Each structure stands twice: as C-alpha cells, then as structure tokens.
C-alpha cells in the first residue's frame, strides 16, 4: 500500500465518520423538533394551555434542521436544480458549466462568510424573547451552510477536473 492510497483510505474513513456524525446530529435535531411539536400540540389542544417556549424552540429547531441538513446531509445529487440548459448541452460543455457554476456558488458563499460571521457574533448580545437563547446560536447554522457550500464547491471543481463527481456517479453520458 502506497502512502497516497493510505491517505486516501484515511480520508475516506474520516469523511464517512463525519457524515455519520452529521446525520446523527441532524436526526437528533429533527427528533427534538418532533418532540417539541408534540408537546406544543398536546398543551395547546389537549389542555388549552399554549406554551410560548415550545413555539420559539420549534422555530429555532426548524431553522437548525433545514440549514444543517442542507449543509451536511443532503448530497449533491439530491439538491433541487434547474437543469433545462444542462440537459440540452453535451458532456464537453457540462464540465466548464459545472466548474463555472461551482466557482460562482463557492465564491459567493466564501465572500459571504466574513459578513455573516460578524453579524452572528454581533447578535450574541441579543436573546430570543421567551427562552433568552442568544441569536448567535439561532443564526449559527447559516455560517455552517456557507462554509459547507464553499467546501462542496471546491470538491466539485476538483472532481470535475479529475472526471469524477455527479455525472460519473449517475453514469450520465
């Protein structure tokens, strides 16, 4: 086994472990959202005593579930895309389209990270109205999403140059 193949195996294991952790966190967030939702429904309609904290926590968890899943769980092949132009061109045109598209998406995400991080850090001084959770923690998954978009775009560009990636995975000719 060469050093390069050992590194590739180690990176593949690390990626698999990180994917498992991301899915576990996403599952835990969704399960918690579901439990809060059931508590909210039971309190509101079963006992006619709405709980303000459950509404607020459900909104926070919903934001986290959606942005966490978009950043770390949903693979590229399952993202919603507008592919009318993509499907009308040949494979030789798709490669530069993919590279340019990922440069735009990744570049914009990368440019958005500093301003978003500054805003998220600034919002640490403000809290939600009922639970008092710092808005920094409410908005943090957006920064995660931007970072993940930048990394995913870089990986996608690298795969395009190597002839790997989505088209190879889906066996598109």
In the chain, where the domains are located = 1-74, 76-173
Enumerate the β-bridge partners of residue 127.
Answer: 134
Q: 12: which 2 tokens?
A: 């593949």
DSSP state of 173: -
Distance from C-alpha of 44 to C-alpha of 163, rounded to nearest angstrom: 55
Q: 170: which 2 tokens?
A: 């889906």
Contact predicate 146/72, CB 8 Å: no
DSSP state of 125: G
- Predicted local distance difference test score (pLDDT) of residue 129: 93
138, with CB counted inside 10 A (0-12, 13-18, 19+), is buried
Distance from C-alpha of 53 to C-alpha of 155, rounded to nearest angstrom: 40
- Predicted local distance difference test score (pLDDT) of residue 172: 54
Q: What is the pTM of this model?
A: 0.82
- Predicted local distance difference test score (pLDDT) of residue 137: 95
Q: 39: which 2 tokens?
A: 């508590």
Integer angstrom CA distances of residue 62 from 10, 29, 89, 165 = 34, 8, 38, 30
* Per-residue pLDDT tens digits of the chain, which is 173 residues long: 676 787 878 888 998 999 999 999 999 999 999 999 999 999 999 999 999 999 999 999 999 999 999 999 988 777 777 777 878 888 888 888 889 999 999 999 999 999 999 999 999 999 999 999 999 999 999 999 999 999 999 998 998 888 876 565 555 54
- Predicted local distance difference test score (pLDDT) of residue 5: 80
- Predicted local distance difference test score (pLDDT) of residue 75: 83
Distance from C-alpha of 137 to C-alpha of 143, rounded to nearest angstrom: 11
> What single string gives the DSSP state of each residue in 105-131?
HHHHHHHHHHHHHHHHHHGGG-B-TTT
């Amino acid at each position: 086994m060469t050093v390069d193949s050992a590194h590739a195996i180690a990176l593949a294991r690390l990626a698999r472990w990180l994917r498992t952790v991301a899915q576990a966190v996403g599952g835990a967030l969704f399960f918690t959202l579901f439990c809060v939702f059931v508590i909210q429904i039971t309190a509101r309609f079963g006992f006619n005593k709405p709980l303000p904290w459950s509404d607020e926590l459900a909104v926070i968890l919903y934001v986290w579930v959606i942005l966490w899943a978009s950043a770390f769980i949903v693979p590229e092949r399952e993202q919603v895309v507008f592919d009318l132009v993509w499907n009308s061109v040949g494979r030789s045109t798709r490669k530069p389209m993919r590279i340019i598209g990922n440069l735009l998406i990744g570049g914009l995400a990368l440019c958005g990270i500093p301003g978003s991080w500054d805003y998220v850090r600034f919002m640490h001084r403000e809290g939600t109205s009922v639970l008092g959770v710092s808005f920094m923690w409410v908005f943090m998954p957006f920064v995660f999403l931007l970072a993940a978009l930048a990394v995913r775009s870089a990986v996608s560009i690298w795969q395009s140059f190597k002839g790997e990636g989505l088209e190879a995975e889906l066996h598109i000719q």
